[in-house]
Structure 1
């Protein structure tokens, strides 16, 4: 039976560097104890910290819980690596997109860490090191972590994302958040379209400059999910009229009936892209019923779309086009 490890110095958190722990009075032997994990060389993570995170993850059953769990794990890894990050280095690429801005990109298996050329890119297990020209990386601190800004992150992703993925991420970064009462908060936006444009024109980014310019022309403010962006791009490619995004629907007296992300005001058609929580949440289901009833009473036709309509059977554009024709669109 393994001996019970000695208590750690009370000044240490759940993640810490070996150097800090020894400076606070821990021994090198204690750093090798079985109750400490080593996510990166020179870093330790306590079992209590890991258990606490696992409990938090299990208790989260709200929409997009799995995304939040994976993002939280990546943030924990970034904070752990911060303890031993080389001076001048910063998080970038998909890592910055996820931990800093909650962008819809595939969670990286390794942390993307960059330095400004001619510094040497970091090399370590679990790290993907990069060297970046100074004029192509704008760096700031966010939640205690050094990383590229939202716009700079988007531009750097031009190397690894395709055109549609860049538009999806761009839409997410420029979206103006709303609170639980439906009020917009422009001060919380991660980036503006002008910010993205400034990064594209900062200098050549071979071979992604052309792709970034094409994506920039397609980014719009108002899409609150990847599915909404995908529908918008498909609808535009099919020749449907341009939709207004993130619109407050009111009746003739000015009473707010609801807020919808894709609206055709001229034709009184509203498109609702629904994630699975619209089905599994009773409260959301009841709100939807009330909102759609109010829309119909006020002369609007709601078209409800799921991921199946948009991605699998590609039926979304046909359904919306049919609704538009019923309201006078000549096709």
Structure 2
């Protein structure tokens, strides 16, 4: 079989619909050649291109349709639980009377509220997608999602935006309201949020997030993930990025500065988030020790 002739720009460079190709004069036989693949019905893409379901469906969204729920949250870069990723199940909401029906798509009929244009097509806004996810995710997963939306740097929404997105009487409203009470500005990763939730659920005081630690002269020693400044106890989540040699050396130097200034820094990993008993015992001992020191100082005074 002869080599397929080149397609005119932009066909052959990105995903496109069969309807657009036919209108451009590209024949049906050409669209069946092996240099093109069919990511979803009615769509073609260059063979070998990594085309996810969202990108493929973006070219067939009609007026009044948008990516929503976990799909929209994934477009905004939010951390999602396993199996709920941006291309695992694609959610599309329509403001009309008919929901999208396609293989691999969960169609919804929801009125248009807050919709944004993105490089992958129209999508529910960060705050709107957070509330839509309340019908799909657990309260803890929704807190993780919310913490990401309101993070201190490059925030996608504010806590007030999340509160305003809640529709009384809608599905998931109780989960959303429960999660909203626990969302905090300052978490920098999903695991930090899960660690905080576990610590508070275990009965410890709620920590402050991303605390700048200073010495007695006001010199900046470093920022910790979470802390109880009145006890001078800090809790750090160490992800895999802390394992390289340069980061380890910086952490050791910073830790020495904390220690000589009376701070106790406890480190946690993913294992501690999954099985926190040992971590919680360390925290209990730390709080007991610091409380005992405070009592002794008061007695001595």
Q: CA deviation at 1:133?
A: 3.8
3-state SS of paired residue (2:109): strand
The 1:323/1:121 distance shift into structure 2, 3 A limit, reads: same
Aligned residue number for residue 195 of structure 1: 161
Aligned residue number for residue 231 of structure 1: 195
Q: CA deviation at 1:90?
A: 0.1
Aligned residue number for residue 33 of structure 1: 33
Asked if structure 2 preserves the Cα contact closer than 8 Å seen for 1:103 and 1:173, the reply is: no
Asked if structure 2 preserves the Cα contact closer than 8 Å seen for 1:9 and 1:21, the reply is: no
What is the number of equivalent residue pairs in this alignment? 289
The 1:145/1:282 distance shift into structure 2, 3 A limit, reads: farther
* Residue of 298, 307, 310 corresponding to 2:261: 298
Q: CA deviation at 1:9?
A: 1.0
* Residue of 80, 98, 108 corresponding to 1:130: 108
Q: Which has the higher helix share?
A: 1
Alpha-carbon distance in structure 1 between the residues aligned to 2:90 and 2:270: 30
Pairs within 5 Å for 1:1-331: 2-12=1-11, 13-50=13-50, 76-105=52-81, 106-107=84-85, 109-116=88-95, 118-134=96-112, 137-143=113-119, 145-177=121-153, 188-200=154-166, 202-206=167-171, 208-279=172-243, 281-328=244-291
Deviations 1:163-186 (A, max 9, x none): 211111111111112xxxxxxxxx
CA RMSD in angstroms comes to 2.0
Moved more, 99-108 or 245-254: 99-108
Moved more, 32-41 or 232-241: 232-241
Q: CA deviation at 1:144?
A: 5.1
Alpha-carbon distance in structure 2 between the residues aligned to 1:143 and 1:252: 49
Asked if structure 2 preserves the Cα contact closer than 8 Å seen for 1:245 and 1:262, the reply is: yes
Alpha-carbon distance in structure 1 between the residues aligned to 2:143 and 2:107: 25
TM (norm. structure 1) is 0.81
Uncovered stretches (5+) of structure 1, i.e. residues with no partner: 51-72, 178-187
3-state SS of paired residue (1:321): helix
3-state SS of paired residue (1:259): strand
Asked if structure 2 preserves the Cα contact closer than 8 Å seen for 1:231 and 1:316, the reply is: no
Q: CA deviation at 1:132?
A: 1.1
Deviations 1:244-297 (A, max 9, x none): 101122223333222212111111111101112222x23322222222122212
Asked if structure 1 preserves the Cα contact closer than 8 Å seen for 2:79 and 2:190, the reply is: no
TM (norm. structure 2) is 0.88
3-state SS of paired residue (2:79): coil
Deviations 1:171-207 (A, max 9, x none): 1111112xxxxxxxxxx2111111111112x33213x
3-state SS of paired residue (2:230): helix
Q: CA deviation at 1:313?
A: 4.7
Q: CA deviation at 1:48?
A: 4.8
Q: Find runs of 4+ consecutive structure 1 residues off by over 6 angstroms.
A: none
Alpha-carbon distance in structure 1 between the residues aligned to 2:142 and 2:263: 33
